Chains A and B, each alone.
Chain A
């Protein structure tokens, strides 16, 4: 049994304009101590699907199943779910400045987490604990910085503090939602290193959300590519990077910034993200797909395959990057 098993998760938001179908059938598994990367462009439903697991999407209509250590999270009584949050499943968010409370010290916020879940801990013990956590993530002079407010920390230090907090109770799963997007490149690399190191040290499972395949290139065991609220390709990392099947994944990979550190995209995936109020018929990617076939417009491709799953009507053996693969795809689609 995997640590987390999500299947057929859907999340919709009723709005005045209609129902926003943010997640339309999300399924994946995370094994203990492993890392799952979830990739997709803005609005594809990465945050909504993971926050729903934790009961953090309010006003949403949710269906499907998500089992954490065999316990169903969807529909779990609020109080029971609350006790899992922070203790068993922790989250790290994109912008550490806005995610930390500006009016409380960093130490206070870590102490609060500890004392919510371990009420028997005294304030002094919890403070000591918080200092140790800050030391663990490499905050210099942690016994002094523990009394600083978030605005007194640099961006990278704030995210370290968030990580310190997430790890404090040694959760079994950490969900990191674009934890480095708000940071500059060097700091980004340091934070990723830190997360990878601590994850190994504590054997924590990690879901790493990003819109940038480069971020998880070294970290993820498995990668899930999301499009319009659905997984469209799931594979082991190397498989996905070297032998992508889905044309959207191919597009993403070809848009990864070069390793020389140049910021500009080589070739962004052309076209507009789909409307979630009225998702396209058939394959949701078809309005942007260079290989679109008549069937694509009418029939929804299911996730197909054994280890390497892809939701695309192209034959499963048409994989890879580069002109040769492109030629084969064109051949198959015409």
Chain B
């Protein structure tokens, strides 16, 4: 088990190293002037370019530069944004909580709704309840996030203003719990609706497969009550692919939830990313991309380890 985890972590480190190296080769390898120009932005004056070449040591050998690039990365030094002149790390740390809270809150909602909906429709396939769920799922999947988000904002501001729900930048729950809830609830629901639709489908399919298994028949033949058959025997086994998907989704979303964040003006990582791309703020783009890859890599490790806890057959294999 420990060896399995160590192997997985080592593998993750290698992937991240490959990502970093690719980034380096793409953006930092090449004539010093070009690199400095890229990093400083198209409108930067000559002095700034020279200064960047200096501070980053772009005139050093490629190997030296590569070593210091990796070294900086390890220290969490991602350079300086040429738009705001702030360290990239600071920008990221400012944007991270909004995204974290958005994903965490929405995840609770979509997992609860997705699994419940999936189980209910799988237990009675083709029933009215199942068909209703299927229609809702289709609606949830095909409704564009920004349309749903806009609709919610409109309703909150003009029909239910007394709720105090409003779009706006993330507020720490430690500073102002009420304000936090007022800005977070809509993005939570908005993100959760789309995700829940996917999870209802996934759970339903997985549950239907599982409920057809021989061991489910054994559970019934044992005299297990139907609830127990559904949950302890059925759902327990059906959960594995759901958990896998969950890990992957969390990893991806933590890198930034572009549309939802933008519709509600949450100022999370997704919005930071959009802004940086719009202004060509390369240091921030690179920093955010590396962070996003790190999330995905970590999520995959967690999924693999969780998987081996969920399924004893994996543990020994």
Contacts and interface: CB of A to CB of B under 8 A. Distances in A.
Contacts of B172: none
A264 to B, nearest CB: 29
Nearest to B220: A56
A327 interface: no
Nearest to B213: A98
A112 interface: yes
Interface residue SS majority, chain B: helix
Contacts of B176: none
A112 B222 contact: yes
Contacts of A93: 214, 217-218, 221
A103 B236 CA distance: 8
Interface residues on B, range: 20 to 34
B221 A86 contact: yes
Interface string A184-224: 00000000000000000000000000000000000000000
B219 interface: yes
Nearest to A98: B214
A196 B218 CA distance: 22
Interface string B211-231: 001110111111111101000
A165 B222 CA distance: 9
Contact of A84 (B215, B217, B218, B223): B223
A113 B312 CA distance: 21
A39 interface: no
A149 B215 CA distance: 14
A234 interface: no
A243 interface: no
A151 interface: yes
A149 B220 CA distance: 20
A56 B233 contact: no
Contacts of B43: none
B223 A83 contact: yes
A60 to B, nearest CB: 14
A117 B215 contact: no
Interface string A66-107: 000000000000100011111100110101001111110000
B311 interface: yes
Nearest to B221: A91
Contacts of B218: 91, 93, 99-101
Contacts of A165: 222
Interface size class of A (residues with CB under 8 A): 20 to 34
Contacts of A84: 223
B75 interface: no
Contacts of B215: 98-102
B313 A151 contact: yes
A103 B37 CA distance: 58
Contacts of B220: 56, 85
Given A56-B217, A56-B220, A93-B214, A102 B225 contact: no
Contacts of B250: none
Nearest to A78: B226
Contacts of A83: 223
A193 B226 CA distance: 34
Interface in B229-251: 233, 236-237
B70 interface: no
A1 interface: no
A119 B160 CA distance: 52
A102 B218 CA distance: 12
A82 B214 contact: no
Contacts of A85: 220-223
B313 A102 contact: yes
B16 interface: no
A149 B223 contact: no
A116 interface: yes
A54 interface: yes
Contacts of A102: 215, 237, 311-313
Interface string A37-59: 00000000000000100101000
A214 B205 CA distance: 41
9 contacts: A78-B226, A82-B223, A86-B222, A91-B218, A93-B214, A98-B213, A101-B237, A103-B237, A149-B313
The 8 A-B pairs with the shortest beta carbon distances in the complex, nearest first, are A86-B223, A85-B223, A98-B214, A86-B222, A91-B221, A101-B215, A99-B214, A149-B312
Given A93-B214, A102-B313, 19 more contacts: A51-B217, A56-B220, A56-B221, A82-B223, A82-B225, A85-B220, A85-B221, A91-B221, A93-B221, A99-B214, A99-B217, A100-B215, A102-B311, A103-B236, A103-B310, A103-B311, A116-B222, A116-B223, A151-B313
